[in-house]
């Protein structure tokens, strides 16, 4: 017995003493790390995520999460000045933050109309609503490409989005015909990519600078803000000359021109009588974005039996444009729009036999054919900004010039050999 007791004592003496935790110290060790999104610590809630389905409404969603009708009505009334809950769109994601109890009652509703923005309807204590944006990181990248067939193929071979081609064709719309590029033409571009929450790729933000050598002729392009109040920017070459015209050639990415401006057009449907057509019809799929062809102020955003949904814009004392047969408008009368802003979407409203936008153009109060006008150049950079611009582009031009195209041009090789990525 004494021998057994001795063994027990020796065994206990040889053991390392156990580490003793105070209760609050132990709690600190296992406390979960804060998981924040939309301005909330998600650890404080039961988090439910879903998408808006056909037939869903804010009221029906709230009823699923144990919110009674009187409170639903009160939430809708209290938040209607901040957000209209009737605008929920099918397929868009939403998040419901619920109480951490057996009832799991909804306390907050977060709706995401797009990947960057979100709308919060918070009714935990006081009821309020607000719209915010997820943090966005901009990453600058560079790309060098040599044309082997067309710019789209060059970008695709380099693993780049075709949106980069669209943006470049827009910048060089009045200086380079991208349908007539030649093998061996090359370009360099400095652009920024967008990332949401540092991880979710959100596409190309903008092109900061570009260089295109077409038929051995160089074309520089630098983005520069010309009006900080209206947040207007444009692209200028290395001599501060504007690359654009005051008007885009077309208001939409179109399949074909289905009907041109023609004052002596005859229509068989009307007995082959002359019925003047004072617009240009650009055929495009329903839902295709329609863009303002120049800066201006919306004077009409309305509906008539003939025009359907339409928008009219006054650009200055001489020029006006009109866009007919929209599926729906994206602007209101009195709103200032910039060249390229989406003002609506292609539809078939009004008197029309197919999806298109009828583009009408006024000069000094008279409807004219925009393709036969000598359209004005975009406003040149002001003298007061010229010196600032030339200083601004120095590091960008140096960056473009330092990208060595000779490293990408290989006389014999596959198209992949002719492309250099600089990410």
Q: 328: domain range?
A: 256-372
What gap in Å lies between CA 147 and CA 133, rounded to an integer? 38
Q: What are phi and psi of 19, to 5 degrees?
A: -75, 125
CATH of the domain at 286: 2.70.70.10
Q: Using an 8 Å Cβ cutoff, are 387 and 199 in contact?
A: no
Identify the sign of the CA torsion 234, 322, 357, 308. positive
Residue 355 within a domain = yes
Q: Are 377 and 242 in contact (CB under 8 A)?
A: yes
Residues with Cβ within 8 Å of residue 238, at least 6 apart in sequence? 220, 222, 393, 397
Are 266 and 366 part of one and the same domain?
Answer: yes
End residue of a domain, out of 133, 148, 171 = 133
What is the rounded CA–CA span in Å between residue 208 and residue 141? 10
Q: Which residue has the tokens 């939403």?
A: 94
* 264 and 367 assigned to the same domain: yes
Per-residue pLDDT of 305-343, as tens digits, reads 999 999 999 998 889 999 999 999 999 999 999 888 999
Distance of alpha carbon 242 from alpha carbon 262, whole angstroms: 32
The two tokens of residue 347 are: 């539809």
**Same-domain status, 209 and 285:** no
Same domain, 96 and 150: no
Q: How many domains, the chain?
A: 3
Of 84, 105, 109, whose CA–CA distance to 94 is shortest?
Answer: 109
With a CB cutoff of 8 Å and minimum separation 6, the contacts of 254 are 282, 283, 284, 288, 356, 357
Contact 242, 236 (CB under 8 A): yes
CB 74 within 8 A of CB 127: yes
> What does the buried/exposed string (b/e) look like for 352-385 if buried means 16 or more CB atoms within 10 Å of the residue's CB?
beebbbbbbbbeeeebeebeeeebeebeebeeeb
- Number of Cβ within 10 Å of residue 316's Cβ equals 12
Do 90 and 147 fall within a single domain? no
Question: Do 307 and 353 lie in a common domain?
Answer: yes
User: Residue 267 is inside which H or E element, if any?
Assistant: strand 266-267
Domain identity same for 116 and 192: no
- Within a domain: 55: yes
**Structural contact between residues 326 and 282, judged by C-beta atoms closer than 8 angstroms:** no
Based on the fold, state whether residues 92 and 178 are members of the same structural domain. no
Residue 16 lies in a domain: no
For residues 53 and 92, the answer to whether their CB atoms sit within 8 Å is no
Q: Which residues contact 72 (CB under 8 A, 6 or more apart)?
A: 58, 59, 62, 63
Closest CA to 58 of 79, 90, 78, 88: 88
Per-residue pLDDT of the chain (423 residues; tens, 9 = 90+): 444 433 333 344 444 444 444 444 444 444 556 688 888 999 999 999 999 999 999 999 999 999 998 999 999 999 988 888 888 999 999 999 999 998 899 999 999 998 889 999 999 888 999 999 888 899 999 999 999 888 888 888 888 888 888 888 888 877 887 878 888 899 999 999 988 887 888 888 999 999 999 988 999 999 999 887 777 788 999 999 888 777 888 899 877 787 777 766 655 455 556 667 788 899 999 999 999 998 899 999 999 999 999 999 999 888 999 999 999 999 999 999 988 899 999 999 998 888 999 999 999 999 999 888 887 777 778 888 999 999 999 999 999 999 877 655 543 344 444 444 445
Does residue 10 fall inside a structural domain? no
The CATH number of residue 193's host domain is: 3.10.450.350
Burial of 292 (0-12, 13-18, 19+ CB in 10 A): buried
Is there a single domain that holds both residue 367 and residue 260?
A: yes
Residues 388 and 285 both lie in one domain: no
Domain assignment present for 88? yes
- Among 69, 98, 133, give the residue marking a domain's end: 133
48 and 126 inside one domain: yes
Q: Which of 333, 354, 372 is the last residue of a domain?
A: 372
58 within domain boundaries: yes
Q: Are residues 260 and 368 in the same domain?
A: yes
Q: Is residue 115 part of a domain?
A: yes
Give the separation between CA 122 and CA 129, rounded to whole angstroms: 6
Residue 249 lies in a domain: no
CA dist 405 and 159 (Å) reads 18
CB 286 within 8 A of CB 348: yes
């Amino acid at each position: 017995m004494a021998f057994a007791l001795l063994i027990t004592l020796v065994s206990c003496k040889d053991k390392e003493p156990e580490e003793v935790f105070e209760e609050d110290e132990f709690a600190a060790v296992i406390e979960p790390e804060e998981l924040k999104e939309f301005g909330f610590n998600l650890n404080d809630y039961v988090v439910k995520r879903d998408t808006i389905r056909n037939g869903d409404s804010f009221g029906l969603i709230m009823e699923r999460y144990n919110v009674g009708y009187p409170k639903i009505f009160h939430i809708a009334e209290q938040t209607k000045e901040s957000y209209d809950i009737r605008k929920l769109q099918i397929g868009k994601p939403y998040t419901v933050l619920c109480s951490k109890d057996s009832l799991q009652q909804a306390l907050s509703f977060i709706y995401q109309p797009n990947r960057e923005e979100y709308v919060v309807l918070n009714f935990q204590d006081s009821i309020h609503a607000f719209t915010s944006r997820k943090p966005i990181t901009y990453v600058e990248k560079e790309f060098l490409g040599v044309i082997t067939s067309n710019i789209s193929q060059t970008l695709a071979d380099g693993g780049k989005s075709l949106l980069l081609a669209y943006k470049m064709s827009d910048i060089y719309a009045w200086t380079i015909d991208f349908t007539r590029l030649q093998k061996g033409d090359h370009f360099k571009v400095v652009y920024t990519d967008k990332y949401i929450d540092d991880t979710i790729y959100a596409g190309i933000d903008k092109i900061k600078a570009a260089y295109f050598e077409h038929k051995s002729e160089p074309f520089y392009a630098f983005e520069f803000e010309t009006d900080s109040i209206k947040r207007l920017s444009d692209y200028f070459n290395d001599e501060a000359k504007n690359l654009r015209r005051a008007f885009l050639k077309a208001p939409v990415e179109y399949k074909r021109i289905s009907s041109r401006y023609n004052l002596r057009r005859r229509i068989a449907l009307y007995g082959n009588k002359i019925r003047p057509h004072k617009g240009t019809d650009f055929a495009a799929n329903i839902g295709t974005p329609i863009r303002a062809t120049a800066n201006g102020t919306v004077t009409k955003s309305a509906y008539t039996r003939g025009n359907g949904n339409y928008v009219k814009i006054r650009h200055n004392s001489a020029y006006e444009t009109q866009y007919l047969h929209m599926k729906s408008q994206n602007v209101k009368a009195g709103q200032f729009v910039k060249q390229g802003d989406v003002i609506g979407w292609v539809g078939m409203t009004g008197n029309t036999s197919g999806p298109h936008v009828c583009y009408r153009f006024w000069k000094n109060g008279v409807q004219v054919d925009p393709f036969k006008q000598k359209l004005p150049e975009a406003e040149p950079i002001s003298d007061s900004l010229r010196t600032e611009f030339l200083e601004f582009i120095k590091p960008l031009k140096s960056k473009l010039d330092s990208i060595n195209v000779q490293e990408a041009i290989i006389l014999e090789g596959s198209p992949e050999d002719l492309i250099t990525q600089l990410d």
